[in-house]
Structure 1
Amino acid sequence: MMKTTVEVPDDLYRRAKAEAALRGRKLRDLVEEGLRLVLEAPPKARGRHSLAGLMRRARGTIDSGVPDLASNPEHLKDFGRDDRRHR
């Protein structure tokens, strides 16, 4: 087994020490358990997401109030016109 030193904020240390005591375990056991949980989690559970995956639930959430912009000629007015030619 390897021995190492890890610096953590004081409040995190106190919380971890208290949690270990409540569980009747040593702090090092709690740290080992936490490391194993993070490192053994499937990659998907670790927060590696694609942009498409992150946006999946956001699709279609913006409603313009018009079911199809192409169905309203007002939205197509001047579509495709070159402004430099038609001034």
Structure 2
Amino acid sequence: MADQQQKKTGAFDIRVVIAALIGIYGLVLTILGLIADPDEVAKADGLNINLWGGIAMLVFAAGFVLWARLRPIVVQSAADEDAPAASE
């Protein structure tokens, strides 16, 4: 019964919000890296910084989502909070 009164934060978990923001920026950088001008890449000593930075941000965002899914934050309901006070 106590398990039914506990709820997971889900989409309101700050880790999911951070992952979404970093994922959006990573997607934009990855797209910019894929369509990059070869002259711009040559300026960075042949390293496509936008592409590699975007991929790293996408991996980081996926790690945050995985972390939020594997270790969700459990919030107790108001009924659970009142129970210890009544027993005192």
If the TM-score is normalised by the length of the shorter chain, which range does it land in?
A: under 0.3
Comparing both chains, which one has the higher relative contact order based on Cα–Cα distances under 8 Å and sequence gaps of 6 or more?
Answer: 2
More helix by share: 2
Largest Rg, 1 or 2: 1
Q: What is the TM-score when the length of structure 2 is the normalising length? A: 0.23
